[in-house]
């Protein structure tokens, strides 16, 4: 069966988007970790950081399932939420494993209400209790990070120069540390101004990407919580900037671009379950 897809991206964080909702698809579309990883492979598949499945939802306008490049299914993806918001248009309530979010399409992307931030150690989750605003742990020169769950788990280190950190080497070490029983996304951030930070992210199950929307939410919220900046916060990622607004006790609003790259089809027989 030929399965239609769209290739989209948010600041260079790229996605295969498959609409599997009833008549919108050519037929039932099944997805597994093996199929998602094969489609995500850049040399032998279509290539992407994440594969997005749009399915019918009983509680929202659409259900968004998110598979990382390694095939693992995860709870949230901010850049994908903007891409889906742009694709569907208008205002959409989107069901995810991390909770319901709301997108509002703009001319060049979307604003997405990502829901609340959670700081409890068992909501991250961590393996044992500790202060998540200043964690008494470290990996080489990366020390005393902060942690937050913004639909998925993040740990962020505030450093003088985010570009100087060997995140390609340290990222997977921290991601898979036993402290994080569900693994973790790893960010390194530098404060550039009163409402401006720079961020690089090692994504759980995907590695280094040009942009991470939930990572930008996490870094901005934690910088605000530590009173390093005032909001709204501009977060500069390798692929470009996002704007994050948050006040304590409220939800996180992320605004930024998304784009359609191309459309195509693949034969599901070429990508076994």
pLDDT digits 0-9 by tens, 119-161: 999 999 999 999 999 999 999 999 999 999 999 999 999 999 9
pLDDT band at 118 (very low <50, low <70, confident <90, very high): very high
Question: Tokens standing for 176?
Answer: 């898979």
Distance CA 36, CA 243 (A): 30
pLDDT digits 0-9 by tens, 202-240: 999 999 999 999 999 999 999 999 999 999 999 999 999
For residue 195, is the peptide bond before it cis, meaning its omega torsion is within 30 degrees of 0? Answer: no
CB 254 within 8 A of CB 82: yes
Which uninterrupted H or E stretch holds 78?
helix 78-88
Catalytic pick among 48, 63, 77, 217 = 77
Distance CA 155, CA 215 (A): 9
pLDDT digits 0-9 by tens, 32-42: 999 999 999 99
Distance CA 208, CA 166 (A): 11
Within the chain, what is the greatest distance between any pair of CA atoms? 54
Known active-site residue 77: yes
What is the pLDDT of the chain when averaged over all its residues?
Answer: 95
Looking up tokens 């910088």 gives 223
Distance CA 267, CA 257 (A): 30
Distance CA 103, CA 80 (A): 11
Query: How much is the average pLDDT of 37-64?
Result: 96
CATH number for domain 2-115+258-270, candidates 3.30.230.10, 1.10.760.10, 3.10.310.10, 3.40.50.10320: 3.10.310.10
Distance CA 94, CA 77 (A): 12
Which uninterrupted H or E stretch holds 199?
strand 196-203
- The CATH class for the domain spanning 118-245 reads alpha beta
pTM of the full structure: 0.92
Residues forming CATH 3.10.310.10 domain(s) in the chain: 2-115+258-270, 118-245
* Angstrom distances, CA of residue 117 to CA of 2, 231, 251: 40, 15, 7
For residue 232, is the peptide bond before it cis, meaning its omega torsion is within 30 degrees of 0? Answer: yes
Known active-site residue 63: no
CB 163 within 8 A of CB 131: no
């Amino acid at each position: 069966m030929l399965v239609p897809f769209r290739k989209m991206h948010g600041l260079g964080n790229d996605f295969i988007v498959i609409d599997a909702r009833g008549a919108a698809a050519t037929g039932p579309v099944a997805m597994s970790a093996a199929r998602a990883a094969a489609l995500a492979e850049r040399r032998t598949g279509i290539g992407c950081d994440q594969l997005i499945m749009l399915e019918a939802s009983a509680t929202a306008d659409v259900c968004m399932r998110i598979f990382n490049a390694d095939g693992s299914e995860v709870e949230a993806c901010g850049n994908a939420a903007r891409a889906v918001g742009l694709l569907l248009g208008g205002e959409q309530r989107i069901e995810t494993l991390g909770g319901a979010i709301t997108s509002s399409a703009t001319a060049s992307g979307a604003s997405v209400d990502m829901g609340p931030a959670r700081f409890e150690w068992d909501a991250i989750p961590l393996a044992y209790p500790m202060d998540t605003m200043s964690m008494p742990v470290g990996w080489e020169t990366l020390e005393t990070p902060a942690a937050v769950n913004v639909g998925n788990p993040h740990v962020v280190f505030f450093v003088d120069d985010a570009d100087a950190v060997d995140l390609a080497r340290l990222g997977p070490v921290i991601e898979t540390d036993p402290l994080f029983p569900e693994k973790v996304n790893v960010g390194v951030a530098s404060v550039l101004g009163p409402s401006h930070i720079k961020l690089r992210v090692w994504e759980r199950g995907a590695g280094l990407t040009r942009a991470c929307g939930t990572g930008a939410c996490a870094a901005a919220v934690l910088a605000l919580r530590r009173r390093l900046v005032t909001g709204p916060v501009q977060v500069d990622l390798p692929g470009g900037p996002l704007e994050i607004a948050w006040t304590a006790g409220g939800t996180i609003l992320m605004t930024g671009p998304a784009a359609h790259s191309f459309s195509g089809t693949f034969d599901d027989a070429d990508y076994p379950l």
